[in-house]
Amino acid sequence: MVLNQENLSGKMANVLKKAIYNLVDKAFTSECYVVGVKAWELSGMFEIVIHMPEIDMRKWNSIQRVKCKVAYGEYRDYTPACWDAEKRICTVFIESEHEGYGSRWAKNLKVGDTIFLAVAHAAPLPNKPGKILCFGDGSALGHFLALKQMTERGNFPFEAIVFLNEEYILPPLFLSDNPEFSLVMKSREDCLRSLIRYAEEKILTEYSSIYIAGYIPMVSGLRKFLKRLPDLDAKIFAHGFWS
């Protein structure tokens, strides 16, 4: 009898789980299409170009996130890094070196694939003019590129330091289009310690806004380090993506 009750409980749990998954799936109403896939050489970084015919990007007034269904019951958030509002096409950067559903999904995407997603607010823009400084890992690349696109350089001078724990061969076009980005490639170094050293080399009082994004423990640690600095007046925007 106990065994039967356990079996019944297990079946009910599975039914409930399936019902929840089906309910969540209904939120993913935007049918989109993969129109480009590019892998950076010798690395796990992918640029995925997505056509979003149903989404009006002209209404975006903050950094966005797209929640993608990457497997049954599995969803991952990615940031539209750059976009063309007229063509309704955007690019997301996905770092796939960490094994998981999202990484496997990105590696298997090909032109012509249909994906279902939902778009939502991810992070605000600076609330006052001034210099912007960004610290993050590879998963934050799209976040910072979006911030760059949504702020103009006259009022918001921009710098970004991105730690990559692989020795990437960086695409020449990316480098020429984004001279504001310092990409630090140190495969055997701790991300947090490295970014703290870079922060210590900066005159942080010159900045009005500091953005930190990426690996949650790194984001938390760097934010705590910056908050302890007595003369720092910059507003800190911290966004953890994964752990």
Per mean pLDDT, which range of 7-21, 50-64, 121-135, 228-242 is the poorest?
A: 7-21
Q: What is the pLDDT of residues 127-137, one digit of tens each?
A: 999 999 999 99
Look up the CATH number of the domain holding residue 109.
2.40.30.10
Residues 236 and 129 in one domain: yes
Measured CA to CA, the distance from residue 89 to residue 32 in angstroms comes to 10
Report the domain count for the chain.
2
Q: How far apart are CA 194 and CA 204, in angstroms?
A: 16
What is the predicted pLDDT for the residue at 62?
A: 96
d(CA 211, CA 140): 10
- Within a 10 A sphere around the Cβ of 117, how many other Cβ atoms? 24
Average pLDDT over the chain reads: 89
Assess whether 53 and 155 both reside in one domain: no
Summarised one tens digit per residue, pLDDT across range 83-116 is 999 999 999 999 887 788 999 999 999 999 999 8
Q: Is residue 171 part of a domain?
A: yes
What Cα–Cα distance (Å) separates residue 235 from each residue in 60, 62, 92?
22, 16, 26
Residue 109 lies in a domain: yes
What pLDDT score was predicted for residue 242?
84
The pTM score is 0.87
Mark whether 140 and 104 lie in a shared domain.
Answer: no
Q: Are residues 228 and 183 in the same domain?
A: yes
Statement to judge: residues 107 and 185 lie in one domain: no
Domain boundary among 103, 121, 139: 121
Residue 205 lies in a domain: yes
Q: Would you mind telling me the total number of residues written for the chain in this entry?
A: 243
In which domain, by residue range, is 77 found?
30-121
Amino acid at 2: V
Same domain, 131 and 68: no
In a domain, 5, yes or no: no
Last residue of one domain, picked from the residues 57, 88, 121: 121
Order the strands of the 207-215 sheet from edge to edge: 181-185, 158-164, 131-137, 207-215, 235-242
| Same-domain status, 93 and 36 | yes
Over 90: is that where the pLDDT of 61 sits?
yes
The answer to whether residue 221 sits within a structural domain is yes
**Residue burial 22-52, b: 16+ Cβ < 10 Å; e: rest:** eeeeeebebebebeebeebeebbbbbbbbeb
Domain boundary among 105, 121, 137: 121
Check which CATH number belongs to the domain holding 231 and give it.
3.40.50.80
Q: What is the pLDDT of residues 160-214, one digit of tens each?
A: 999 998 888 889 999 999 999 999 988 778 999 999 999 999 999 999 999 999 9
Residues 71 and 164 in one domain: no
Instruction: Please indicate, yes or no, whether residues 86 and 133 belong to a single structural domain of this protein.
Output: no
Same domain, 71 and 106: yes
Q: How far is it, in rounded angstroms, from Cα 79 to Cα 141?
A: 9
Examine residue 138 and state whether it is found in any structural domain, yes or no. Answer: yes
97 and 52, same structural domain? yes
Structure confidence at residue 188 (pLDDT): 76
Written as one letter, the residue type at 172 is: P
For residues 73 and 23, what is the distance between their CA atoms, to the nearest angstrom?
A: 10
The answer on 153 and 197 residing in a single domain is yes
- Res 212: pLDDT: 98
In a domain, 3, yes or no: no
On whether residue 7 sits in a domain, the answer given is no
On the question of pLDDT at 38 being above 80, the answer is: yes
Beta bridge partners of 80: 92
Angle of CA points 150, 118, 116, to nearest 5°: 120
